[in-house]
Amino acid sequence: MKKLKEIPKFKSEVEERKFWQKHDSADYLDWSKAKRITFPNLKPSTKAISIRLPESLLVRIKVLANKRDIPYQSLIKNVLSEEFEHRAKTDK
């Protein structure tokens, strides 16, 4: 196993960013000991999906979204999220 270099102290995020753009982190960290972690309080990333809806339902969704002055995709996400939260509480 090679001897790891010491990570320098940085005065700013910009300085650190420049450093890592020019240096290989494997010279400073033993990645074989790394563990995957999650950050549950971060805003979740989104993934585009395709869903087929009856045109009449989509029209109704768009009308309601327009009344609420929000994009219809946001309305769909909100309704799905609220429904799953409700089910999570009642399905215990």
Question: Is the model's pLDDT at 44 over the cut of 80?
Answer: no
Average pLDDT in the chain: 91
Cα distance between the two ends of the chain: 50
Whole-angstrom distance, CA of residue 75 vs CA of residue 66 = 10
Write down the pLDDT at residue 68: 94
Number of domain units in the chain: 1
Residue 25 lies in a domain: no
Q: Could you tell me the two tokens for 51?
A: 């869903």
Residue 31 lies in a domain: no
- pLDDT confidence of 1, banded at 50, 70, 90? low
Residue 79 sits in which domain range?
51-92
Residue 91 lies in a domain: yes
